Amino acid sequence: MNKRLLLLSNSTNPGELYLGWPAKHIKDFLGEKIKKVLFIPYAGVTITLDDYFHAVSTQFEALGYKMDSAHNMANPQKVLSEYDAITVGGGNTFQLIRLLEDKGLIPAIQNAVLNGMPYIGWSAGSNIASPTIKTTNDMPIVEPASFNAFNFIPFQINPHYTEATLPNHGGESRDVRINEFVTVNQSTNVVCLPEGSLLRYENEQIFFIGKGPCKVFRYAQPIKTFKDGDDLSWLLDEGSQIS
């Protein structure tokens, strides 16, 4: 298998252009041979899918890539092979996985990516590269048939990771929530991506790139932190202990 994945924590940093910070990483990842990209906008909820597609396609076309959107197609799985890459945007992860299930796109995208089609995701689009969506930050506004996701990587991603807590707020912190997950999923690593960071996977290697630190959680092990440029390929061994 020759999987190529670019998994972003977020699309846009405050005060910057939409898809501004990752633009250079997207261009470097896709290169010059990629021409046509299929966008999956289904995570969008409070934005219309037309508006979402317009925002994303404007930026991708500025980088030199033609983009079409799955929501404008009757049977997007049937034309998937006509595209050179897949991009899955952020929003609500439960809505995203529900619509991917309804439209029969999960096995089609899995097959395409496992056979070398480049995949770019951010936020919810990165979370679903994991085995499940159980480490999403989103409210379950709809009920999918399953929490199972694409399973491109043998670990979970928590996008938009932050250590911040609100003063005088009694709710659980992100660390508490992730510790709940690893307590009941004891053989699974969780990789926490702060804003402005990503994982790049190709040639059977995976690297953390961007603002850090990147924290990895696993049951009954000390939390390990990683910085820009660190090799996280050890995570690709399913069930691997924190190195």
25 is catalytic: no
Answer yes or no: is 109 within a domain: yes
168 lies in a domain?
Answer: yes
pLDDT averaged over every residue in the chain: 94
| Global confidence as pTM | 0.95
Q: Of the residues 57, 130, 138, 197, which is catalytic? A: 138
Q: Does residue 125 fall inside a structural domain?
A: yes
Q: pLDDT tens across 34-56, in order?
A: 999 999 999 999 999 999 999 99
pLDDT mean over 127-143: 97
Q: Is residue 213 part of a domain?
A: yes
User: Distance between CA atoms of 97 and 223, rounded to whole angstroms?
Assistant: 29
Residue 242 inside a domain? The answer is: no
Q: How far apart are the first and last CA of the chain?
A: 24
* Mean pLDDT of the 22-40 span: 97
138 catalytic per annotation? yes
Residue 125: give its domain's CATH number: 3.40.50.880
Q: How many domains does the chain have?
A: 1
Is 160 domain-assigned? yes
3-state secondary structure 10-37: CCCCCCCCCCCCCHHHHHHHHCCCCCEE
**Kind plus residue range of the DSSP H or E element containing 201:** strand 197-202
Q: Amino acid identity of 117?
A: M
Confidence at residue 233, expressed as pLDDT on a 0 to 100 scale: 96
Domain contains 241: no
Residue 243 maps to a domain: no
The active-site residue, picked from 71, 130, 160, 197, is: 160
**Dihedral sign, CA of 26, 49, 195, 101?**
negative
Give the domain range for residue 89: 5-236
User: Catalytic pick from 69, 123, 130, 197?
Assistant: 123
- Residue 1 pLDDT exceeds 80: no
| Each residue's pLDDT tens digit, 196-242 | 999 999 999 999 999 889 999 999 999 999 999 999 999 998 656 65
